[in-house]
Amino acid sequence: MSYTGDVVQGGPADVRELDGLTIAKIEVGGFGNNAYLLRCKETGDGLLIDAAAEPDRILDLIGKMPISSIVTTHQHQDHWQALAAVAEATGATPIAHPLDAPALPVRSREVEHGDRIALGVLSLEVVHLRGHTPGSIAIYYPGHIFTGDSLFPGGVGNTQKDPQRFDQLYTDVVERIFDRFPDETWVYPGHGKDTTLGAERPALPEWRARGW
């Protein structure tokens, strides 16, 4: 079956097979959070994006193969409730942006905009997206971007009706994602369904005009 990104609470992972990378997505917790497991096919090394909740389910997804890193996309508690337990069980290094890292329950390796994260023989790019939180980050692999709560189908993340925060997030999303990456780039958000940049690009002027 082909990957759709449509997952449900308590349901099975949806798995996408790329040439060098496997992506598995599950929904965990009471807020519809997505957790993503990425694995390098050549080495078997894994990386988890957002240990949001339900550590036992996340550890079942990880299985017996190692993971080297756990990326937390931002400081909101619904995205890291399982972080301490999963980090302890796997020995993986937590990773976060320095502006959000102090709010997390474990010490994290701090990464900045443009830094690279190794995943086996692969390399992932950190994209800092300011506005939803000061230290929100996305993770980019060619053709694929994991956006946390900064970009969803239908708009950017919640900025609590703060016009300055909205302007910052909208600008970062446009300049650091839409202006750089092609329409076929697949977007994996922190909650809910996936999308593509091409599906969302026509609505950018509408998002700017409405202010959220």
Residue 9 lies in a domain: no
Would you say residue 84 lies in a domain? yes
- Type and span of the H or E element at 10: none
Domain range holding 199?
14-210
Residue 133 burial (10 A CB sphere; 0-12, 13-18, 19+): buried
Q: What is the pLDDT of residues 35-92, one digit of tens each?
A: 999 999 999 999 999 999 999 999 999 999 999 999 999 999 999 999 999 999 999 9
Q: How many domains does the chain have?
A: 1
Q: Confirm if 183 and 198 have CB atoms less than 8 A apart.
A: yes
Instruction: Give this prediction's pTM.
Output: 0.98
For residue 139, the domain's CATH number is: 3.60.15.10
Q: Mean pLDDT, to the nearest integer, of 184-211?
A: 98
Q: Tell me: pLDDT of 1 over 70.
A: no
- Bridge-partner residues for 21, per DSSP? 40
- pLDDT band of residue 109 (cuts 50, 70, 90) is very high
Span 191-201, mean pLDDT? 98
